[in-house]
Amino acid sequence: MLASAGDDEPDPVVGQDLPTEAATPRVLTIISHVMEKLVARNEWLAKQTKGFGKSLDAFHGVRAPSISIAKYLERIYKYTKCSPSCFVVGYVYIDRLAHKHPGSLVVSMNVHRLLVTCVMIASKMLDDVHYNNEFYARVGGVSNADLNKMELELLFLLDFRVTVSSRVFESYCFHLDKEMLLLHGDVSSLQDNQPMQESLSVASTLSSLYV
């Protein structure tokens, strides 16, 4: 049985066999780490200001899902088989939202719905073959109707700015690369490699993120 609207708890996807222990791209681990930090900070801010803002109301669930951000991204990747680049571009969309609507916070009540919506739109922009909204809804634990509404809402919130240039994509890869070093506590390596990162190609940066 599929998750009912508002439950936000992914159930097994009918007719789909979960791939056997496919290696999870490192970029998913880094993005989940960054998103968890963002949510923790915003949860604190929300308590201080006693509010989340209104712009992201369409993405608020009834309650915060029990599944972690890391496991949720891993689930999307395993079932939809979208390219790892989709998660980077999805992260770009969330960052654009945060800058365009600073008063509306990404918190535990909306982060999962934002992620599945952003990754789905990114997949449509990047991947030659991708699943439809109904399938993404089943994977993400939301109703198809809700995902359709969230997709439209996100597009309007972004003013339909869903194209990401290679330069912007590369800059976000560099940012995630730095987060990867910080996550592993290799601050000295981060400082030593700062000048060198400016000359890295997109391909070499992505190879370190996707392994």
The residues spanned by each domain of the chain are 26-180
Q: Global pTM?
A: 0.79
Query: What would the pLDDT profile of 33-42 be if each residue is shown by its tens digit?
Result: 999 999 999 8
Give yes or no for residue 141 having a pLDDT over 50.
yes
CA angle 91, 92, 94 (to 5 degrees): 65
φ, ψ for residue 159 (rounded to 5)? 55, 35
List, for residues 144-161, the tens digit of each pLDDT value: 999 999 999 999 999 999
Using a pLDDT cut of 70, give the percent of the chain over it.
74
Q: Looking at residues 101-118, what average pLDDT do you find?
A: 93
195 pLDDT more than 70: no
* Angstrom distance (rounded) from CA 105 to CA 47: 11
pLDDT at 10: 53
* Mean pLDDT of all residues belonging to the chain: 80
The overall longest dimension of the chain from CA atoms, in Å, is 52
Q: What is the CATH number of domain 26-180?
A: 1.10.472.10
The whole-angstrom separation of Cα 209 and Cα 127 is 19
Asked if residue 130 lies in contact with residue 82, where contact means CB atoms within 8 angstroms, the answer is yes
Check residue 200 and give its pLDDT: 30
Give the per-residue pLDDT at 7: 52
Of 8-12, 90-94, 97-101, where does mean pLDDT reach its minimum? 8-12
Average pLDDT over residues 80-102: 94
User: Is 122's pLDDT higher than 90?
Assistant: yes
Residue 193 is predicted with a pLDDT of 43
Q: What is the pLDDT of residues 6-62, one digit of tens each?
A: 455 554 443 444 444 457 888 999 999 999 999 999 888 877 776 666 778 899 888
